[in-house]
Amino acid sequence: MDEWLGALVEHHEDHRSEVVCTLGDCLDSRGNYDHTADALIIHRSALRYLSAASAR
């Protein structure tokens, strides 16, 4: 797991970001944008924007 998520977890710890929590919500929702956005209490389009921005 560290091989795949180690850098993400390190960034999360260094910057006190919510990236790991967001990923957890996304996985719990099986990648469903509507359910993930509801869990994060953000609009679905904001989640899509953040997802696209993080992929760059």
pLDDT in tens, 12-29: 678 776 766 677 787 888
Measured between alpha carbons, how far is 45 from 37 in angstroms, rounded to an integer? 9
Q: What angle do CA 46, 26, 15 make, to 5 degrees?
A: 75
Confidence at residue 45, expressed as pLDDT on a 0 to 100 scale: 92
Could you tell me which residue, 10 or 32, shows the higher pLDDT? Answer: 32
Does 55 have pLDDT greater than 80? no
